[in-house]
Amino acid sequence: MTPPHAAPARWPALWFLLLALALGTTTGCALRRGAAPAAPAEDAPSPAFTLQVDAHDESLRAYLLRHLELQRFRHLPDLQASERERLATAAEGNARELLATLGYFSPAIRITTQPAPAPGALPAITVQVTPGARTQVARADITLEGPADDAQRAHRQAQIAGAWSLPPGTPFTQQGWDAAKAEGLRQLQARSYPTARIADSRADIAADPAQAHLSVRYATGPAYRLGALQVHGSTRYDPLGAERIARLPADADYSAALLLDAQQRLAASGYYDSVFLTLDTAAPDPQAAPVIAQVRDAPLQKLVLGAGLSTDSGARLSLDHTHNRLPGLGWRALSQVALDRTQQRLSSAWSGLPQANGWRWFASALLQREATGSYDVNSTRLRAGSTREDERITRSLYLQSDTASSQGPGAPPRSSALSLNHGWTARRFDQATAPTRGWGLALESGLGSTLHPRYDPFARLLLRWQGFVPLARVDLGENVQRRSRLALRLEGGAVLARKAADIPVTQLFLTGGDTTVRGYGYRSIAARDQAGTLYGGRYLAVGSLEWQRPVTLRGNRTDFESAVFIDAGAVADTPGALRARVGLGAGLRWRSPVGPLQADLAWGVQSHQLRLHLRLGFSF
């Protein structure tokens, strides 16, 4: 049976092909790194001489050709022979300096000039290079000085030495030496020592036997601990609320990561248009240094008109209203009207500022009309409770009221329910918007009773897990590597109640679509009766396996990844009736600044349909 609102197969295939062609053209022409430079313009000056570099190592040859100062004078008009000889003589010192930055301190360099062999031909300058032995790091001495106790200083010194990027035995380069010193300083400044500096550094080079003895001395300065948060620039919102949203741990060791996390929480709160957090290192007591939050208030109210397009639900229009301080309550209210092909909804969510213990009160209301299986369902949902968001764990406890009325031949009777629910979500991803490693786990549980047409107790459980498993590294060129990975997803749910209980469909399960089982329409995988009628089921099982691999184009790295995947999902009223619906496909991923843009083409094995799925961003 064809699911409701199914998109014809030919259109997704055509859209996907056009998208792939457009992406291929873009990456081939605009996003390629390391592509050959464009041909010079026709009116560019003619070269005054040719430059040739002879070196046994092709990378050295390319490096010198790119950076020799002779290149600056090749197109100098009316260059005389005497001036060309002077430039050739000076090029030896320039070449030695360039080679020294790569660790070659005893090269043999021979520069020859040849006049033009015939009228109309160009004179030539040839640089012949024998680089000699490349200097290796023999020793790297790293010392810290400052007021810290000996044990703490030794611990941090060992940390920097353990992460040192120029250990003994590695080739010495000036760039690597500068980067290693800077990284050690960054490690100190990122935790406990924001005023650390490089007091002294030295690289002693012994041309024979081509060894480098490195030493760097860091002055740590005092260790800092976090004091009170001071909000500057806000006249509209309570500074105490900002302090509770930021959740900076009192009296903790200074950490740049702690300040960045707090800054992101304040920026995401909706109360401020801009936020910048800094530590007041000029404070008289480093053990209680104030944190300065420089903010710009967001408007008290905001109205946003939005439009979008989804392969699940087609064109979408929305109107969002935000009130950041409701009269009398002081709560924040987010209200929305949204219309699309499968769903029309009116919602409002209110939330208070966090209390001293981190919990905040919230309440929400939702009125919705939605295509659910073979029926159109009018439903309402009311929630009220409390929630707490820690660094990686979100908890919530709330009371929920549901009513649902289905329309269509053979529709189930109107039903309602009241339930007490608990939610718990842990996130251990390496990045919030585009993770490549880590996992997330979410558990929803509820106990309640139907209210209409009769009283029946029920329990509801939903468990979700998603993980990313790094695999082998893919060489993208230019010394850049990126890991391929497996993306795994599991979801399972159950509603336990008497068989005759009329559970509201809003408490039951349906699946299918962009974020669940690709190759099937939005919420088109459902329980079904003998006539093929689709409706919400009491049991849910979903699994997905996806291989994501970075893409190179003609040897150049890109921000694209390829993916192949298999999804499976099932919904039924009893565990024994679960029958998997399988989707197979492939797609492209673009690492955009706001998260991955995903384009997938999937074949539904049971539905016998080809579908395009588009999605922007990552959420768990």
**What is the C-alpha R_g of the chain?**
32
Measured CA to CA in angstroms, residue 394 lies from 240, 322, 432, 441, 559 at distances of 21, 23, 14, 11, 32
Instruction: Give the pLDDT confidence score for residue 302 in this predicted structure.
Output: 94
Domain regions of the chain by residue span: 50-130, 136-219, 226-297, 371-616
**Greatest extent of the chain over all pairs of C-alpha atoms, in Å:** 105
| pTM beyond 0.75 | no
Same fold, 226-297 and 371-616: no
The gap from C-alpha 193 to its chain's centroid, in whole angstroms, comes to 28
Q: Which CATH superfamily is domain 50-130 in?
A: membrane protein fhac (3.10.20.310)
Residues of the chain with pLDDT under 70: 1-45, 474-481, 554-556
* Encoded tokens for 274: 């801009």
The crossing angle, in degrees rounded to 10, of helices 150-162 and 174-190 is 140
Instruction: Give the pLDDT confidence score for residue 235 in this predicted structure.
Output: 92
CATH number assigned to the domain covering 136-219: 3.10.20.310
The alpha carbon dihedral of 475, 479, 480, 482 has a sign of positive
Domain 371-616, architecture per CATH: Beta Barrel (2.40)
* Encoded tokens for 322: 């935000």
Instruction: Give the pLDDT confidence score for residue 41 in this predicted structure.
Output: 43
Instruction: Give the pLDDT confidence score for residue 198 in this predicted structure.
Output: 96
Is 442 in a helix, a strand, or coil?
Answer: strand
Cα atoms in the Cβ-side hemisphere of radius 13 Å centred on 556: 14
From CA 16, how far away is CA 487, in angstroms rounded?
22
Is 67 in a helix, a strand, or coil?
Answer: helix
For 17-49, give the secondary structure using H, E and C: HHHHHHHHHHHHHCCCCCCCCCCCCCCCCCCCC
Measured CA to CA in angstroms, residue 513 lies from 442, 444, 582 at distances of 20, 21, 12
Instruction: Give the pLDDT confidence score for residue 263 in this predicted structure.
Output: 95
Fold classification of 226-297 (topology level): Ubiquitin-like (UB roll) (3.10.20)
Instruction: Give the pLDDT confidence score for residue 39 in this predicted structure.
Output: 42
Respond yes or no on whether the N-terminal peptide bond of residue 453 is cis (omega within 30° of 0): yes
Phi, psi angles (nearest 5°) of residue 87? -65, -40
Cα atoms in the Cβ-side hemisphere of radius 13 Å centred on 407: 7
Instruction: Give the pLDDT confidence score for residue 14 in this predicted structure.
Output: 43
Phi, psi angles (nearest 5°) of residue 83? -70, -35
Is 141 in a helix, a strand, or coil?
Answer: strand
Beta-carbon contacts of residue 497 (< 8 Å; ≥ 6 apart): 450, 456, 457, 458, 459, 503, 538
From CA 51, how far away is CA 73, in angstroms rounded?
11
